[in-house]
Amino acid sequence: MPAELSPIDKAKFVAAKRATEFVEDGMKLGLGTGSTSAWMVRCLAERIREEGLRVTGVPTSTRTAELAASLGVPISTLDEVKWLDLTIDGADEFDPHLALIKGGGAALLQEKIVATASDQMIVIADAAKEVTQLGAFPLPVEVIPFGWQTTKALIEETLVSLDVMNRDCTLRMNGDRPLVTDEANFIIDLHLKRIGNPRQLALVLNQIPGVVENGLFIDICDIVVIGHGDGRVTVRDINQGTEGEDFVEFAPTDNIFADME
C-alpha cells in the first residue's frame, strides 16, 4: 500500500507524522478535518496503540469524529474539556505570516472555534499549499440558509471597496442541492484570486448580517509543518522565528492502512 501513494499523499503523511511528535501524554487535542488531518488521526492512533499515549481529542467535524472513534482515539467535546493544549489541522493555503485559508472541507466554523480555544495551533500541509499571497483558493464563507441570496449580494457589494482581484461568489453545491455544513448552514465561496489585506477582509465579512464565519484564520496558527514527497519536512515556527528541516522515514505500518479500502 505505501508504494501506491502519490507524492502528494506521501507529503501529507510525513507532515502529519512529524506533527504528531508535538503531542505529549495527557494532552487535550483539537483534531482537524480534511485529507491531511485524516493522516494525522491515523498517526495519532498508532502512537496510542504502540506507546500507550493518553490523549483526548476534540474533532472539528462529524467525519473526523467517526474516523477517530473507529481508530480508537478517545474523543470528547469542547464543552466538556473547556480548553485545549494543541490543535493540529490542515489548510487550503498559508502565506509567509502563517495566515490561512481554510474551509475547503466545509468545516471552517468548528475548526476556527477549536483552534482559537487552543494554546497552540499546528498546521500540516504539503508544499503546494504555501503561497506568497492568499486568494487563489476560493475563500469559504459560512452563512445561515435564511436569506442566503441577500447575504451573497451584500458580500458582493462589500467586496467592491476591498483590495481583491475578483469578486465572483458562488453557493457551494452537493449535487443538485446546496451543501449543508455540520451546523446546518450554507457555504458561499469567494473566488477572489488575490487578497490584498486578509485581516481587513476577515473583519468586514463577519459584520455582514447572515454571515456566520469566514475561512480566513489570522494570528491563529503558530507552527506550520510542510511535507514533501521525498520525506523531507520543514517546520516553521512563527513565534520563535525559526525554520528547520527534518526527514521522516516513509514507512507507514499496516495498522495505519488497516481500515482503508
With cell 499571497, the residue in question is 133
Ligand-binding annotation for 104, yes or no, is yes
Ligand-binding annotation for 107, yes or no, is no
261 pLDDT band, cuts 50/70/90, is very low
C-alpha 227/C-alpha 225 separation (Å) is 7
Contact by Cβ (8 Å): 143, 188: yes
pLDDT tens by residue, 169-189? 999 999 999 999 999 999 999
Residue 1 pLDDT: 41
Of 63, 68, 70, 62, nearest to 29 (Cα)? 68
Angle at 182 between CA 131 and CA 113, to 5 degrees: 55
Of 173, 257, 149, 164, nearest to 204 (Cα)? 164
Active-site residue flag, 51: no
What is the average per-residue pLDDT within 142-153?
Answer: 98
For residue 191, give the amino acid letter: H
Ligand-binding annotation for 152, yes or no, is no
Mean pLDDT of the chain: 95
Question: Is the pLDDT at 259 greater than 70, yes or no?
Answer: no
- Identify the H or E element spanning 169: strand 168-171
Question: Is the pLDDT at 198 greater than 90, yes or no?
Answer: yes
pLDDT tens by residue, 209-243? 999 999 999 999 999 999 999 999 999 999 999 99
Question: Is the pLDDT at 255 greater than 80, yes or no?
Answer: no
Ligand-binding annotation for 85, yes or no, is no
Full set of structural domains in the chain with CATH: 2-128+219-257 (3.40.50.1360), 139-212 (3.30.70.260)
First to last CA, the chain: 10
Entry pTM = 0.94
Q: Which of 24, 50, 80, 111 is catalytic?
A: 111
